[in-house]
Structure 1
Amino acid sequence: MSEKTDRPLILKEDIIAGLRKAGLKAGASVFAHASLSSFGFVMGGAETAIRALLEVVGPEGTLMMPAQTWKNLDPETGVHWLEPEAWWPAIRENWPAFDPAVTPSIGMGAVAEMLRTWPGSRRSSHPARSVCAAGKHAAYLTENHDLSDIFGDDSPTGRLYKLDGQVLLMGVGYDKNTSIHLAEYRADWDKPMSREWSAVYREGKRERVCYDTIAVDDSDFVALGKDWDSFAGIRPVLVGNAEIRCFDQRPFVDWSARWITEHRKKTAPGE
């Protein structure tokens, strides 16, 4: 007996059509963020999504997605909120060191994790904020990911800017849009700094490394995205239950840096 479902059936051809309608270009280098479950029932799951993405950008294109391992940060930052504080020393001494070839991404979704393991995919070496990429510019986007330059000008996100790439949001909102962090780096505001620790392998041995970076803040990303949609006339394309947005990264980052400067500018005492 068949059962009723409110989940639409999504085929690869549906995703391809939606991506092209949203504006994803052949030959593009694109930073994609995706929630597979938001679509409905995708026939073939994450594999189908990756095949659709790679087919649209084609052999001259590049697909990049987040492969972050943010639990490889000191528990004092709050990333191990489910574990008691009494365990923190053990976490510091025993959390597995980052191995680009082995360490799974955390919370990035099934599509991003599929790309991480895709044949020919490359991954940047940042122990907490890595990305993975496949295609023409994968090596350039992922090489030499500096510990302190997590989302800055010479990070994978900054290098996508130099390639005049695109941003793709598939069933996720602007709170998942990593490119806004590049705008944070570039904006004129009172940037707070953060000292972070992560476990890495050096000469085959586990070692904790310390690095300083700006403390990014995504609390206003949804408001920023709403204003960007209005400013740029973004009209999401619906595929199943998922909204797809695609736009050029460079004008978006430039606009977002101005938005952040205006909305986060330091307020003088007494104002």
Structure 2
Amino acid sequence: MKQPWYQQPITTVTTYTDLMTLFQELGLQEQDTCLVHTSLSAFGFIPGGEQTLIAALKAGLAKGNIAMPAQSSDLSDPHEWINPPVQTAHQDQVMAALPGFDRQLTPCHLIGALPEYFRSLPGTQRSGHPTCSMTAWGVQAQHICETTTYDLPFGAQGPLQKLYDLNAKVLFLGTDFETGTAIHLAESTLPRPVFEERAPIQTAGQKQWVSFKMVELEPYDDFNEMGAQFMAAKPESVRQAAIGNDRTALAFSMRDLVDFAREYYRQRDLAEGLN
């Protein structure tokens, strides 16, 4: 029987010094803005775990900004849930019991340990969308997280556009394009059909349900196919380095990725008659 992960011997260690060397190999500068996606397990064992990795990121980007997704998609209408579905008899019960979104209190779910740790730290800002928020730390963190509408949270009025305008880099630390939240900016700025979703928010001690507009997003398993074509077309944009357990870290221009993805999906949408 395979041992649980916490009982398995430590064979690969990544220290704070190793992380700082990695960031240099990826070409990061202290004034850069980075949208970060991380698989902690890809590093093997990091003494200090999330605390050490965030400390290294803050040191490496001391005059710039760090951003991470802080999605809470479980704060949504349970009548629409698919993974998992809610039995009809319990849908109203779940809907009534869900807490309203709160920037300080609502945790991130289903996107890993590091985004939740980052969200909880003093000095981290968070945007106000109930299901698709973004967190940021750094010189322009408040600007990145300022939003004026719930509509199209990944679109031109949201934090992703601000990161694009800041010429941010996307940083994959052991992850791949399936985690690429930046790609949603490309999708959300195409002329796709718009539909409405609902989510609860907490305002002045009261919960209320708000509606907002969304566009149809691609399944995540398509992102790697698009990402492979992006890397082949824009090799000069991508820096790579080996990490931990035979995994790879990538750093590249968010603008290059979004521009490539927008044209890639525009052509696909034309072929499928979506625009």
Normalised by the length of structure 1, the TM-score is 0.91
List aligned pairs for 1:67-106, cutoff 5 A.
67-78=70-81, 81=84, 83-106=86-109
Q: State the 1:4 CA deviation.
A: 7.5
Q: State the 1:166 CA deviation.
A: 1.0
Q: State the 1:164 CA deviation.
A: 1.1
Structure 2 SS opposite 1:96: coil
Structure 2: how far apart are the matches of 1:7 and 1:49?
A: 19
Specify which of 19, 22, 26 is matched with residue 18 of structure 1. Answer: 22
Q: State the 1:82 CA deviation.
A: 5.8
Structure 1: how far apart are the matches of 2:50 and 2:123?
A: 17
Q: Within the alignment, does 1:247 sit opposite 2:248 as a pair?
A: no
- 1:232 maps to a residue whose letter is K
Aligned residue in 1 for 2:232: 230
The unaligned stretches of length 5 or more in structure 2 are: 1-6
Q: State the 1:29 CA deviation.
A: 1.1
Structure 1: how far apart are the matches of 2:99 and 2:263?
A: 39
Structure 1 pair 266–193 and aligned structure 2 pair: CA distance change class (3 A): farther
Structure 2: how far apart are the matches of 1:112 and 1:75?
A: 24
CA contact (8 A) 1:236 1:245 kept: yes
Q: May I ask how many residue pairs the two structures share in their alignment?
A: 264
Aligned residue in 2 for 1:37: 41
Q: State the 1:171 CA deviation.
A: 1.2
Structure 1 SS opposite 2:198: strand
List aligned pairs for 1:149-188, cutoff 5 A.
149-187=152-190
Structure 1: how far apart are the matches of 2:210 and 2:130?
A: 9
CA RMSD of aligned residues (A): 2.0
- C-alpha distance after superposition, 1:127-172 (max 9, x if no partner): 0011111110100000125211211112100101111111111111
- 1:112 maps to a residue whose letter is P
Structure 1: how far apart are the matches of 2:172 and 2:118?
A: 16
Aligned residue in 1 for 2:57: 53
- 1:244 maps to a residue whose letter is A
Normalised by the length of structure 2, the TM-score is 0.90
Aligned residue in 2 for 1:210: 211
CA contact (8 A) 1:98 1:201 kept: yes
CA contact (8 A) 1:187 1:258 kept: no
Structure 1 pair 7–87 and aligned structure 2 pair: CA distance change class (3 A): farther
CA contact (8 A) 2:29 2:60 kept: yes
CA contact (8 A) 2:152 2:188 kept: no
Q: State the 1:235 CA deviation.
A: 5.2
- C-alpha distance after superposition, 1:203-239 (max 9, x if no partner): 2211111112212123421101111121122353111
Structure 2: how far apart are the matches of 1:61 and 1:235?
A: 19
- 2:128 maps to a residue whose letter is S
Aligned residue in 1 for 2:147: 144
Structure 1 pair 16–216 and aligned structure 2 pair: CA distance change class (3 A): same
Q: State the 1:23 CA deviation.
A: 2.3
- 2:49 maps to a residue whose letter is G
Q: State the 1:6 CA deviation.
A: 6.4
CA contact (8 A) 1:73 1:197 kept: yes
Aligned residue in 2 for 1:117: 120
- C-alpha distance after superposition, 1:45-92 (max 9, x if no partner): 01111011111111x210000111000111233255164332211111
Aligned residue in 1 for 2:272: 267
Structure 2: how far apart are the matches of 1:212 and 1:16?
A: 41
- Identity within the alignment, %: 28
